[in-house]
Amino acid sequence: MSAVLQSTLDAQRDAQAGGIQLTSEAPGQGHLLTPAALDFLRDLHQRFEPRRQGLLQARALRQVDFDAGASPDFRTDTAAIRAADWNVAPIPAALVDRRVEITGPVDPKMVINALNSGANVYMADFEDSTSPTWANLIEGQRALRKAVAGTLDWMAPDGSKHYTLKPEAERAVLCVRPRGWHLDEKHVLVACDGEAQRISASLFDAGLFAFHNAATLAAKDRGPYLYLPKLQSMEEAALWEDALAHIEATLGLAHGQVKVTVLIETLPAAFEMDEILHALRARIVGLNCGRWDYIFSYIKTFRAHRDKVLPERAQVSMTQPFLKAYSELLIRTCHRRGAHAMGGMAAQIPISGDAEANDAAMARVRADKLREVTAGHDGTWVAHPALIPLAREIFDAHMAEAHQQHVSRDDVQVTREDLVKPPLGTITRAGFENNVEVCVRYLAAWLDGSGCVPIHWLMEDAATAEIARTQLWQWIHYADDGCEPLCLDDETPVDSALLERALIGLPGKLQDRLRLPGASRINEAIGMLDRLTHADTLAEFLTLPAYERLD
């Protein structure tokens, strides 16, 4: 028996004896999930799982109110927090200049390329751009551990290329995004209250990363740094605060050593930006406009509101008034509190073989980044290394200092109506069919283990697939309760028959692309989208039912 296999079996035996059980195996997990690491994770679960479940229940109850006609609004019970004069803790030197950030999954090749990319920051993503198979998660944690140690390398399977890290001074600063509070990690079960409970995916991702890397990063004054996704309230931020404070105390770190940036990517959170900053004020360094998830959240929040139906995705740009109000409120709020206001993702990727189309795509990226920097954002996201020089050029030209917190945006006065008023627009046949194709192709790739998928020269992840799925559900269910259906701009009704025709025709449309990511699971993805779209209730997240199909 190999030493690695023996280590894995020993860890599993010790874990079961300690009240925690691993239900799968992946190469190298024994070196990560040691008895001490598993005990650390068990403790996190037992301390914080009841609060997590309570907050998820609060989300569900709040959605009941929204379905009954209510709308998110600024809270009256926290008005004093918004009115008071306070600031977040000072920003560490490594995060003062964040003008260009790159994001992506956590496979070794991506980690090396992103850290070497020339970006200021690399957000290593366990969430929307990673399909959380057990093998992917373990590989990602191993890659990040080696990256922190400076020893990560990767050899192409055919031996043609060998990737290594640049010297540390030339690498991007590492930030890690764990999965959101709504997700479980089914491969790790904790004995609690007489049952085997799944651990929070958030605590698994963040906890395991911190356990192995926090001391090394702290010694280099490099964090650990985290990006926190999908928050909907200050109470959810407070749960992160308490969990991270406990992690620090357990690992012997100073309080506030772990720094965080929070993605404002849900509609309810847009009304609680001050409160989220306040809950995390000892460690938060900024907020980020998570635009794609924000659009998805808008649709989901207003799923039962026929006056809040959005046009097709291509027409819902950041220049639309409700999104412009959201981004400018984020800038004003952050700069008032001494935090960075980070811009959102440019999903475009370079188009090879078509110079005219590539020029048009790059012009859209340029316009988007110019909008961000002139509005007052302190940095931006890109999805591809080739976009880093373009984004940097624009921010360098308009942001001479490391950030622009001096841009107070006191001119911005945003009301509830500004944040919820939907834009005008249409649904075209091409837009409808693109939603079907993007959702099916992304879901098929995700089921096959890929969480970041190029489709039609856009880098799609779970957030963009969620926009496609929820729009299809909302458009088709508009005719529930006897209402007239929505129509395409050519007067074709948007109904189940239109969806059925699109789904039936999709395999033929894709048959010449048999090497697409997830091609073998296209039919499975079609079946899932069909069921999810026809369901009476909009599923909260696409990835919840899909996760049960992953290894």
Residue 360 in 3-state DSSP? helix
Cβ 308 vs Cβ 322: under 8 Å:
no
DSSP strand pairing (259-264 vs 184-192): unpaired
Residue 373 in 3-state DSSP? helix
Catalytic, 177? Answer: yes
DSSP strand pairing (453-455 vs 458-460): antiparallel
Distance CA(440)–CA(132), nearest Å, equals 18
CA 234 to chain centre: 18
DSSP, res 392: H
User: Terminal CA-to-CA distance of the chain, rounded, Å?
Assistant: 25
Distance CA(529)–CA(519), nearest Å, equals 15
Cβ-count burial 11-46 (b if 16+ within 10 Å, e if not): bbebbeeebbbbeeebebbbbbbbeebbbbbbbbbb
Distance CA(222)–CA(195), nearest Å, equals 39
Distance CA(109)–CA(449), nearest Å, equals 15
Distance CA(450)–CA(520), nearest Å, equals 13
Cβ 266 vs Cβ 280: under 8 Å:
no
Q: Looking at 177, 222, 392, 441, which residue is catalytic?
A: 177
Q: What single-letter amino acid sits at 84? A: A
Catalytic, 461? Answer: yes
Q: What angle do CA 439, 445, 449 make, to 5 degrees?
A: 140
Q: What is the DSSP string of 137-181?
A: HHHHHHHHHHHHHT--EEE-TTSS-EEEPPPGGGSPEEEEEPPPT
Distance CA(446)–CA(518), nearest Å, equals 7
Residue 225 in 3-state DSSP? strand
List the catalytic residues. Answer: 177, 461
